[in-house]
Amino acid sequence: MTLSRRTFMAGAAAAPLAGALPRLALAEMTIGEATLTTVSDGNLVLPGGFVFDTMPQDELPALLQEFGLSRDRVTPECNLALYRDGTHTVLFDVGSGPDFMPSAGKIVDSLDAAGVAPEDVTHVLFTHAHPDHIWGLLDDFDEPLFYEATCLMGRAEWDYWWNPETVDTIGEARAAFAVGAKRRMEAIEDSVEFFDDGDEVLPGIAAVATHGHTPGHMAFELRGGSDAALVVGDAIGNHHAAFRKPHWESGADHDKQSAIAVRQMLLDRLASEQMPLVGFHLPQGGMGRVERDGDAYRFVGG
């Protein structure tokens, strides 16, 4: 297995909240005869409390200092996985699109840097339906961006966001998430295909249930010959607390206890097997490995 990194800088001016030029970072590896690349959708700009409010406040300052983080604001990368095997061009999630926040929604430029046009994508596989993962289904004109692609989503995830009661039970702060997800899902409802835990979604790509961050969150295990990698979506949502304190609750997770159990299971497996992973919000293009560090873990990019 080979792994390389290329970085592209967009020429446009920085988004008002981003604080820097959007990065079209690409990390790449081979899996058998296929290529797995990460393509950037930009970054999010979130209040720190979205992640940190549920964590032990007396222990949090040491973690923030270790990673040079602000308690007030986090700016995680958004890294989509792109898989090409010569027959299929598969995009895992579709990014934020034009309507979520100005620092994100850069996927078209990033795909172009990787030599891929939206119409080249044959399949879109969703980890889950949060705004930064599904709102990019529609372009500036509210038309499907990946109009040649077959869209696939885990059955439990679809059922949760399609349920009309979700908008009233998800909480006022996230009601827009439900409205936005439903609108995008309506655009593909006549053609979407569903899968369940353990299904081989496409040749060499198997679904792995990682519920917790959302009720039906899915990861994907990719295999080719002796090579393998795991696309984890937001099941491992950052490079700091998720690795150093995987037992801490994250404010970003829907079912916090389920998310903790999934996170600990994935970190243990990835460290034991030394299987590469792609994390949507991990740094350096999102591709790397997990290493044990005492009774915790650390992310090693590249």
What are residue 120's phi and psi, to 5 degrees? -80, -20
Q: Which tokens is 146 given?
A: 């990946």
Residue 229 confidence (pLDDT): 98
Q: What is the 3-state secondary structure (H, E, C) of 227-260?
A: EEEEEEECCCCCCCHHHHCCCCCCCCCCCHHHHH
Whole-number percent of the chain with pLDDT over 70: 92
Mean pLDDT value across residues 238-246: 98
Tell me how far apart the alpha carbons of residues 156 and 215 are, in angstroms, rounded to a whole number. Answer: 7
The band of 302, judged by pLDDT with boundaries at 50, 70 and 90, is confident
The band of 24, judged by pLDDT with boundaries at 50, 70 and 90, is low
Residue 25 in this model has a pLDDT that exceeds 60: no
Query: Is the separation of the CB atoms in 41 and 101 below 8 Å?
Result: no
Tell me how far apart the alpha carbons of residues 115 and 184 are, in angstroms, rounded to a whole number. Answer: 26
Q: What is the 3-state secondary structure (H, E, C) of 61-115?
A: HHHHHHHCCCCCEECCEEEEEEEECCCCEEEECCCCHHHCCCCECCHHHHHHHCC
Query: How many CA within 13 A on the CB side of residue 42?
Result: 32
Residue 19 confidence (pLDDT): 37
Burial class (CB in 10 A: 0-12, 13-18, 19+), 268: middle
Terminal-residue alpha carbon distance, the chain: 12
Tell me how far apart the alpha carbons of residues 178 and 130 are, in angstroms, rounded to a whole number. Answer: 8
Q: Which of 233, 225, 290, 287 is nearest to 36 (CA)?
A: 287
Q: What is the pLDDT of residues 4-22, one digit of tens each?
A: 323 222 222 233 333 343 4
Residue 4 confidence (pLDDT): 32
What are residue 52's phi and psi, to 5 degrees? -90, -15
Burial class (CB in 10 A: 0-12, 13-18, 19+), 156: middle
Residue 11 confidence (pLDDT): 25
Cα–chain center distance at 75: 14
The band of 282, judged by pLDDT with boundaries at 50, 70 and 90, is very high
Query: Is the separation of the CB atoms in 161 and 182 below 8 Å?
Result: yes
Residue 197 confidence (pLDDT): 98
Mean pLDDT value across residues 269-286: 97
Task: Name every residue whose Cβ is closer than 8 Å to that of residue 229 and which is 6 or more positions away in sequence.
Answer: 29, 31, 36, 221, 222, 275, 276, 277, 278
**CATH numbers and ranges of domains, the chain:** 3-301 (3.60.15.10)
Q: What is the pLDDT of residues 72-87, one digit of tens each?
A: 999 999 999 999 999 9
The band of 111, judged by pLDDT with boundaries at 50, 70 and 90, is very high
DSSP state at residue 153: E
Residue 26 confidence (pLDDT): 77
Residue 7 confidence (pLDDT): 25
- Stated as kind and residue range, the H or E segment containing 223 is strand 218-224
* Model confidence, pTM: 0.92
Which residues make beta-bridge pairs with 4? Answer: 28
